[in-house]
Amino acid sequence: MLWTLTLVVVLPLAACAIDADLDSDGDGLTDQVERELGTNPDEPDSDGDGYSDSDEHLSGTDPLDDDDRIYRGGWPFNSHKDEMGEPDWDTDAEEGAQLPRFQAVDQYGDIVDVYDFAGHGRPMVLDMGTIWCAPCKGMAAYLSTGDPSHVEEYPWWSPEYEGLYDLVQDEEIYWMTVLFSESETSGPADQEDCEGWHEEYPNDKIPVLADTDLMLHEWIGVTSYPVLNLVDDEMVIEIYDDGGPWSVLREVPNLP
């Protein structure tokens, strides 16, 4: 009789231990925590805003409000970015170097962390330029419309690169535009410049950031523009260039 009573007591305790770890939707939050938050334990994204309940809980946004998002642009979020380390800005920009943790305002007014684009299995093209640069505008117009006539006049363009637009639109690669100068005579670009750039060359797949302190500009050592650099899924530079888009564009047929 004693043995039977012991079983009756132990089995429910074991069941409780299992339930405490249960994560029915696999979003990283246990069902118990989701019940406490009021989120749906059977849906990884309760409010349908594109970010998991776990990521929103971690970032401090409301997982029950689809207007309260991590990024208004819908950019990716990397919950493990703090584990990537923070390379010093005094390190040299070169192939094999990890990109420093650049954070800047985007076209929607959000501060974007470049490390949020790591860990998703896609390379990223870092596109740096100015608002007044004609080739930069040509590249932006092509990426906005997919029409290669915007870039055909430039010596760095080739018809074999026309798949670039689809790579961006199909989210096989990330493309990040960073503006560092608003005119030939005035200061660094700002949030209004990013907003205006996006309005003129809209593409909801592309974040437009302002390098207001010229930190990334100085680290890359930009000599001419647009300048493209290719970074991998761990924010390590695969193709480095300080002037021009040639090096990365030549790799387009081999991407992603």
pLDDT per position as a tens digit, 214-233: 999 999 999 999 999 999 99
DSSP state of 216: H
17/96 same-domain check = no
User: Would residue 215 count as lying in a domain?
Assistant: yes
Q: Yes or no: say if 180 and 216 are a contact pair by the CB < 8 Å rule.
A: yes
What is the pLDDT, as a whole number, of residue 191? 97
- Separation between Cα atoms, residue 124 and residue 236, nearest integer Å: 10
User: Would residue 192 count as lying in a domain?
Assistant: yes
Reported as type and span, the H/E element at residue 130 is strand 124-130
What is the pLDDT, as a whole number, of residue 11? 47
45/95 same-domain check = no
Identify which of 94, 125, 151, 85 has the alpha carbon closest to the alpha carbon of residue 207.
125
What is the pLDDT, as a whole number, of residue 110? 98
Tell me how many degrees the CA angle 145-151-156 measures, rounded to the nearest 5. Answer: 140
User: Would residue 220 count as lying in a domain?
Assistant: yes
51/138 same-domain check = no
Q: Yes or no: say if 69 and 61 are a contact pair by the CB < 8 Å rule.
A: yes
Q: Yes or no: say if 182 and 131 are a contact pair by the CB < 8 Å rule.
A: yes
User: Would residue 67 count as lying in a domain?
Assistant: no
State yes or no: pLDDT of 246 exceeds 90. yes
Q: Residue 183: pLDDT band by 50, 70, 90 thresholds?
A: low
Reported as type and span, the H/E element at residue 112 is strand 111-113
Q: Residue 116: pLDDT band by 50, 70, 90 thresholds?
A: very high
Residue 179 makes CB contacts below 8 A (sequence gap 6+) with: 128, 129, 130, 131, 189, 193, 194, 197, 208, 209, 210, 211
- Separation between Cα atoms, residue 15 and residue 19, nearest integer Å: 6
112/189 same-domain check = yes
State yes or no: pLDDT of 39 exceeds 80. yes
Q: Residue 12: pLDDT band by 50, 70, 90 thresholds?
A: low
146/108 same-domain check = yes
3-state secondary structure of 143: helix
- Separation between Cα atoms, residue 235 and residue 204, nearest integer Å: 22
User: Would residue 72 count as lying in a domain?
Assistant: no
State yes or no: pLDDT of 103 exceeds 90. yes
189/237 same-domain check = yes
Q: Yes or no: say if 57 and 37 are a contact pair by the CB < 8 Å rule.
A: yes
User: Would residue 185 count as lying in a domain?
Assistant: yes
User: Would residue 39 count as lying in a domain?
Assistant: yes
* Overall domain count for the chain: 2
Distance between the two ends of the chain, CA-based, in angstroms?
67
Q: Yes or no: say if 123 and 233 are a contact pair by the CB < 8 Å rule.
A: yes
DSSP state of 160: G
132/231 same-domain check = yes
13 Cα distance to chain centroid? 44
143/105 same-domain check = yes
Identify which of 184, 185, 154, 183 has the alpha carbon closest to the alpha carbon of residue 249.
154
171/222 same-domain check = yes
Please report, for the domain that includes residue 169, its CATH number: 3.40.30.10
User: Would residue 236 count as lying in a domain?
Assistant: yes
Average model confidence (pLDDT) for the chain? Answer: 90
51/103 same-domain check = no
138/180 same-domain check = yes
Full-model pTM: 0.88
What's the domain range around 47? 2-59
